[in-house]
Structure 1
Amino acid sequence: MLRRAVLFAAILGLLVGAGGLWLLWLSPGPKPGPHDIIVEEGTTLRSVSRQLEKEGAIPGSARTYYVMARLFGSSDPIQAGEFEIPKGVGGSAVLDLLQHGKPVQRLITVTEGMPSVIVEEKLASNRYLAGPTPAISEGSVLPDSYGYKRGETRAALARRMQEAMSKTLERLWPKRSGDCPVSSPDEAVILASIVEKETAKSAERPMIAGVYCNRLKIGMKLDADPTVIYPVTKGKPLGRRIRKTELAADNGYNTYRQAGLPKGPIANPGKESIEAVLHPAQTKALYFVADGTGGHVFAATLAEHNANVAKWYAIRRQRGQM
């Protein structure tokens, strides 16, 4: 009888102990959170338990949590990445998040036509990146959205942006049509940066490129307003009309002053603008002007162009812009 009572007491103790562990397993850690945790590749349940204990994100000690996870949790591997553990989440939910949840995806976006000065500002102001911001050459970055890990250096992220541009040029340059007189990938990027700044309409880019390629072929000045603005603002919006002194400035960029391409890109052009330069529209047009809808109207002769300009001025007067 005594032996049966001892056995019953032992079983009851085990059940109470297991029940206590189960309740602890469902409980949150001592610190309220939320908790940000970066899990490196190859992290094990044992090592992540120690990491979570330091954060105060799990109930009990790392050793207790490891035992509870082995008893009550899944045996699936721990994922690598950055995770945000919400406030008040229990130990069970923490393990499930690390095994099956979605890591935090951090992105920094370089839009088409964004100048390097703004790319540098975006990198410098990002509090999740580390290290100094490198100087970024104009036209060296491919516009895109780039994922990054918290704590990655700004220099490393900038290199990935530049490597993406280099790889894109390596792929596109050999397939060029030869209809535009650009003699190198660098020259293609310069002209593509002007095309990028001249139109926001994707469908117009080959036509804009066709006009500029035609002008380059006959030695006609490009007369591109964005090249006048670039030395003044480094690619940022001017916010006013171009001054006569700026139109007359001799600075290597002003295509009203000099024939041919400017001495460097005026923005970071996107893939579509680069492709437009390498495969320009077949056109006789030498001129274009805004049409009032956000697009442009094109002309092959100066007389036709002047008529189009008169129509554009009439639209602006009607809108009270002149």
Structure 2
Amino acid sequence: MWRHVAANALTLFVVLLFLAAGAVLWGVERWSAPGPLAQAICLRVDSGSTMRRVAADLSDKGAISSPLLFRIGTDYGGYVPLLKAGSYRIPEGASMEEIAAIITRGGANTCGTEIVWRIGVTRTQAQIRDLDPVSGQYVELAAFDPLSGEAPPPLYAEIRDRPDTTFRVVVAEGTTAWQVVQALDAIDVLEGDATAVPPEGTLAPRDYPIVPGTSVDALLARMAEIQSAILAEAWEGRAPDLPFDTPQEALTLASIVEKETAIPEERPLVASVLVNRLRRGDMRLQFDPTIIYGITRGQGVLDRPIRQSDIAGETERRLHGEILYNTYQIDGLPAGPIANPGQDAIEAAVNPAETDYLYFVADGSGGHAFAATLEEHNRNVARLRAIEAAQQAGGGDDAEGQGGADAP
């Protein structure tokens, strides 16, 4: 009898063991299998939230089929202590394993709202944006000019004070150091004002994620450090026999390239015109942006056409006592950079295209026509004037103004 009972007990144990093993295998399969989410969602995890609460929220949103299995999987996998507050994009069909990784991979928001300050050459704009989880694209909710003196829209304070809002500063190529400082000083999530305007050209134009409470000086130091590294690396790999001797001169040349064209493939060509003129030694550079910088010294934009008195250097001399930047009036490079050049312009400056170009002018389509001789350049200018005349006769927009070195 006892032998019979023992045999039955052993059989029952084996059955239970197989059932348990089957349940584990089923659970493992469900844990890593595609989930039921039909389209991407934005999941917000509040500060102090628990995995139980997150599991319930995911279940309510249709992202998981079993809150219990999700809790067991995150507990067994060691995810529970790694849960971070934030907003996370959960893609359609994400498995429970993938979701657990998304909400614990370091707390970086992949969804939700962000405020971006875009510092440009002609204006600075603050954008309040929200990520559409389905398309993966940001939708602008509001925008304003932080330098206008007007109060931001009410939505701004609400979004700014959310714990999961992210912040970025985007500095465009061709901005001046003064413009960057003015914009940063107006960003209320940054601490303090700049103690000084950094030297022109030394701030790297790019995208900077920021954290509220960061000081303006600290952010400027980060920009300067990145630009210094970019310039050092480019200078190390420079072409031989350049007609300038220092990284600072390369930065100056790069800033002119940056102001003359925004088309990536044209930057080495514009740089070649500069380099070819410097090598000749008997041609001044004659670039319009240097006239403008000589007048403004980077503090704002020149809101009028260039006049003959500007070209003659009279305006720069009257305002500043001497001509340091107007390349129609001085030989060689100006006294220093005229803007903050981006990495592509810096690399073009130290590795210009090998051409015999000495001139270029706008081609009427947004780009430039390059020429090696004055005769060819004059034909390009005549072609541009014809395009401009046709556009004016047809009521269209004016073609781009002259974008390069004039004939001497």
TM-score using structure 1 length:
0.69
How many angstroms apart in 2 are the aligned matches of 1:143 and 1:207? 21
- Corresponding residue of 1:293: 365
Q: Deviations over 1:58-79 (max 9, x none)?
A: xxxxxxxxxxxxxxx9741365
Summarize the Cα distance change of 1:240–1:317 in structure 2 as closer, same or farther, 3 Å threshold: farther
How many angstroms apart in 1 are the aligned matches of 2:304 and 2:382? 21
- Corresponding residue of 1:168: 230
Asked if the contact 1:180/1:277 (under 8 Å) is kept, the reply is no
Q: Is residue 390 of structure 2 the alignment partner of residue 318 of structure 1?
A: yes
- Higher percent of residues as strand: 2
Give 1:108 deviation, angstroms.
0.6
Q: 2:312 aligns with which of 245, 248, 260?
A: 248
Q: Deviations over 1:284-318 (max 9, x none)?
A: 11011110011111111111111111111111222
How many angstroms apart in 1 are the aligned matches of 2:229 and 2:176? 20
How many angstroms apart in 1 are the aligned matches of 2:295 and 2:366? 24
- Corresponding residue of 2:170: 109
SS of residue matched to 1:76: helix
Q: Is residue 332 of structure 2 the alignment partner of residue 260 of structure 1?
A: yes
SS of residue matched to 1:319: helix
Q: 2:186 aligns with which of 114, 125, 149?
A: 125
Q: Deviations over 1:132-155 (max 9, x none)?
A: 223122100111111121101000
| AA at the equivalent of 1:226 | P
Q: Is residue 226 of structure 2 the alignment partner of residue 221 of structure 1?
A: no
| AA at the equivalent of 2:383 | K
Greater mean alpha carbon deviation, residues 301-310 or residues 222-231: 301-310
Overall identity of the aligned pairs, in %: 43
How many angstroms apart in 1 are the aligned matches of 2:241 and 2:346? 13
Q: Deviations over 1:115-162 (max 9, x none)?
A: 112211221111110012231221001111111211010000000000
Asked if the contact 2:357/2:372 (under 8 Å) is kept, the reply is yes
Which 5+ residue runs of structure 1 have no aligned equivalent? Answer: 1-33, 38-44, 50-72, 85-96
Asked if the contact 1:222/1:255 (under 8 Å) is kept, the reply is yes
- Corresponding residue of 2:294: 231
How many angstroms apart in 2 are the aligned matches of 1:179 and 1:304? 27
SS of residue matched to 1:297: strand
Q: Aligned residue pairs: how many?
A: 246
How many angstroms apart in 1 are the aligned matches of 2:384 and 2:242? 29
How many angstroms apart in 2 are the aligned matches of 1:202 and 1:99? 39
Q: 2:351 aligns with which of 279, 287, 291?
A: 279
- Higher percent of residues as helix: 1
| AA at the equivalent of 1:115 | T
How many angstroms apart in 1 are the aligned matches of 2:241 and 2:169? 35
- Corresponding residue of 1:137: 199
Asked if the contact 1:180/1:280 (under 8 Å) is kept, the reply is no
Which 5+ residue runs of structure 2 have no aligned equivalent? Answer: 1-43, 51-74, 88-101, 110-164, 318-322, 393-397, 400-408
Asked if the contact 1:227/1:266 (under 8 Å) is kept, the reply is yes
- The structure whose RCO (Cα within 8 Å, separation 6+) is larger is 1
| AA at the equivalent of 2:370 | F
How many angstroms apart in 2 are the aligned matches of 1:206 and 1:123? 31
Asked if the contact 1:210/1:283 (under 8 Å) is kept, the reply is yes
Give 1:259 deviation, angstroms.
1.2
How many angstroms apart in 2 are the aligned matches of 1:197 and 1:190? 11
Q: Deviations over 1:3-37 (max 9, x none)?
A: xxxxxxxxxxxxxxxxxxxxxxxxxxxxxxx9x98
TM-score using structure 2 length:
0.55
